Amino acid sequence: MKGVNHAKGVMDNSYRIHSQVGDPFPLSFALLPSIPARFRRRLVSPSAVLTGVLIFSPIGFAQTRTPPDKASETTKTPQPAAPLSHDLSGVWMQYRDGDVPGTPGMNGVNEHFRPPLTPWGQAKFDAAKPLSGAKAVAGQEDNSALRCEPSGPPQVLVLPNPWEIVEIPGRVLMFFEEQHLWREIWTDGRPLPKDPDPSWLGYSVGRWEGDTFIVETIGFNDKEWVDLYGNPRTSTTHLTERYRRLNHDTLEQQIIIEDPKVYTKPWISPPKLHKREPGWELAEWFCVLDENKDYDQAVRKPAGVAPASNK
């Protein structure tokens, strides 16, 4: 049972850090049912129910150690050098330098740099009931993930799970451990379509400019948010991603969101570093709706109800 032993050590090292009472951005346990039953018993505790962040896939299933806190732990500061070859291949995991103590980042779309919202965007944001952030209320969340709907860019790019890049002629493929999604980025020189059908992942084209791979995506649906805090994504969202390989084991990613319907100017987040993990393999992880509903009734919704008075 090699896979069981592989996952066991990582569960102990990664999920334990998320159950800290007092975290400034509490998250619900919404997707815990997707974790194999043999691991759930050790994860559920009163503090975990209140402030856990296990709404995601079991990130550790594919890893042999927890992500480093910052780039300096494993990679020296890159020195100016000639651009690396145009090769982004490999399994990549973001550094654990996010806003929530102990979590693996989740700030590739950085809310601290969000521009002011339009009146329409503000109304949509105010109506959202997110899984995390200051607006989150346990048991009242309304995230598409609770319905086992797929995550798409840019949200899937910032969740604390690894993803893999594979390059083939005319395309770059991204495989996500999150719900086992995969994404096509066309690199054969085609332009963005003028009127694409709305979809979860959108329509993506990529090109190289020097040592930077630039991905542009349009054609999104409006069924999910750009992040976990309820910031809207619509059919008019134009997403730009910039990837640059700083050295053999470090990938820089920057996410830029443009949507005049929602944001008064482009939302430009600072670059985010990812570490290459040559020993990792992406685990199989799917959201199972029946298990999700059972967990809603047994844990998530009761977590938002105040305990009965002892008087």
- Give dist(CA 258, CA 240) in Å, integer: 8
Least confident of 54-58, 62-66, 238-242: 54-58
pLDDT in tens, 186-229: 999 999 999 999 999 999 999 999 999 999 999 999 999 999 88
Distance CA 132, CA 52 (A): 10
Highest mean pLDDT of the ranges 62-66, 88-92, 142-146, 226-230: 88-92
69: left (phi over 0), alpha (psi -120 to 50) or beta: alpha
Q: Where are the domains positioned within the chain?
A: 11-69+289-305, 72-276
Amino acid of residue 303: A
- Among residues 259, 280, 13, which one has the least CA distance to residue 116? 259
Is the Cβ–Cβ distance between 143 and 152 less than 8 Å? Answer: no
Q: What is the pTM of this model?
A: 0.71
Give residue-wise pLDDT tens across range 146-162.
778 889 999 999 988 99
**Residues 231-277: pLDDT tens digits?**
999 999 999 999 999 999 999 999 999 999 999 999 999 999 999 99
Q: Does residue 123 contact residue 308 with C-beta atoms inside 8 Å?
A: no
Kindly list the distances between the CA atom of residue 75 and the CA atoms of 92, 103, 192, 201, 247, in Å, as whole numbers in the listed order. Answer: 14, 19, 36, 32, 9
Q: Residue 88 pLDDT > 60, yes or no?
A: yes
What does the alpha-carbon distance between residue 73 and residue 174 come to, in Å, rounded to a whole number?
A: 26
